[in-house]
Structure 1
């Protein structure tokens, strides 16, 4: 019998990868609660998808569950972690220690999910030397040194918009290949560098629109706002 392909060698759509991360989060919670198995329906419901979509997503990992039995929580959790590349701790840096940056750096949940902030950097001398989440804040001038010292390939940017691009350029030049950007600006990066944009104001605006639509009435061919 031939061995199953390593899921990391397969091309998995980005939307599927995002859902796999949600499944991993749910399974981690179940494992922490002592659960040994979970049905496809229960896992799908907890992840906010339908069972058919769940099974299609997990098919990228190869055979996972047993019909009529469901999925073994520890085994599926391990396979997802391996597929997503988080079975071992990944070193990250965070640049911008304002309120948002400090909150992210102090969140213990990243550590339990395989991510460790080995470098916290800020341009404000008043913040340098602070200890957040057990890590000392260093001056942003040390960015390249920190990245090289720990072999960092993932960075989080929570700086003000005017300096985000210059920080991004330094990160890329230092060897960072993946960036999560919370600054409200679109970063320009070369091929081979991935950026995930997280703009909380945009998400709130979308929710405001959806909330408004709940009160929209259609009378004939006219839309009547509340």
Structure 2
């Protein structure tokens, strides 16, 4: 199974962008943010921003706005990013290596502590400070490290085998960058990221620029 329907998914997908902007404002010494400011930054209507932020339980002061720190904390709590989760990554090709090198994950409550690959030339090396282990040790080390999440960046034909190894090791969540649907037990949650999907949306938006109504926002 692995797929759980979640209400307000577009709002949830916008939360990290709100968080990024709010973090920048906090670093700049800004204590209060008004809805119109966030609406302009997000290219959204103000009512949409208010509905998004209402999901966190925070209410702004009429005519004043939201306390930046309070809003940051509320978003992190809503997304369960107030506690750090540890993960392993499988497949250190171009995409996997790029994810290992991204420093922003810990800000979002995710720490990648180890990586795996099937290429003997990569096993035993370090990429962005993480040791690369042999793929046949996934189940063993995942169980020993007691990580809750696995990140799959392998070619599609290899993804199901990797998912089986992660599940056998006790992982409860899989972030899947392989363009294939995984079969996992009901208690395991899978989030599939199809990079070509974003390209498809961009292509349609570009094609519609000259049509009545102008470009599509999103």
TM-score bracket for the superposition, by shorter chain length = 0.7 to 0.9
Paired residue total: 207
Secondary structure in structure 2 of the residue aligned to 1:180: strand
**Kept in 1: contact 2:89–2:152 (CA 8 A):** yes
RMSD: 2.1
Q: 2:133 aligns with which of 138, 155, 172?
A: 138
1:190-201 matches, within 5 Å, as 190-201=185-196
Deviation, structure 1 residue 135:
1.2
**Which of 97, 101, 112 is matched with 2:107 structurally?**
112
CA distance in 1, matches of 2:129, 2:71: 31
| 1:121-179 deviation digits (Å, cap 9, x = unpaired) | 11111111222221111111221233223321122110011100111122122222222
Is 1:99 the counterpart of 2:94 in the alignment? yes
Superposed displacement of residue 103, structure 1? 0.6
TM-score normalized with structure 1 length: 0.82
The correspondence for 1:160, drawn from 150, 155, 158, is: 155
2:119 alignment partner, one of 109, 120, 124? 124
Higher relative contact order (CA 8 A, sep 6+): 2
**Take 1:196 and 1:41, find their aligned partners in 2: how far apart are those partners?**
32
Q: In structure 2, do the counterparts of structure 1 residues 209 and 47 end up closer, same or farther at CA, with 3 Å as the change threshold?
A: closer
User: In the TM superposition, what are the counterparts of 1:192-211 in structure 2 within 5 Å?
Assistant: 192-211=187-206
Does the CA contact (< 8 Å) of 1:168 and 1:187 recur in 2? Answer: yes
Q: Looking at CA atoms only, which structure, 1 or 2, has the larger radius of gyration?
A: 1
Aligned counterparts of 1:20 and 1:209: Cα–Cα separation in 2? 24
Aligned partner (choices 52, 69, 84) of residue 74 of structure 1: 69
> Following the alignment from structure 1 to structure 2, what is the Cα–Cα distance between the partners of residues 92 and 40?
35
Query: Normalized against structure 2, the TM-score is what?
Result: 0.85
Q: CA deviation at 1:81?
A: 0.8
Query: Residue deviations 1:82-123, cap 9 Å, x none?
Result: 121111221011100001100110111112322110111111
Partners in 1 of 2:102 and 2:57 — Cα distance?
Answer: 33
Which blocks of at least 5 consecutive residues in structure 1 are unaligned? 1-10, 218-226
Which structure 2 segments of 5+ residues have no match? 1-5, 213-218
Structure 1 residue corresponding to 2:13, chosen from 14, 18, 29: 18
Contact 2:58–2:74 (CA under 8 A) maintained in structure 1: no
What is the alpha-carbon distance in structure 1 between the residues aligned to residue 43 and residue 173 of structure 2?
A: 27
Q: Cα distance 1:28–1:148, how it changes in 2: closer, same or farther (>3 A)?
A: farther
2:40 to 39, 45, 55: 45
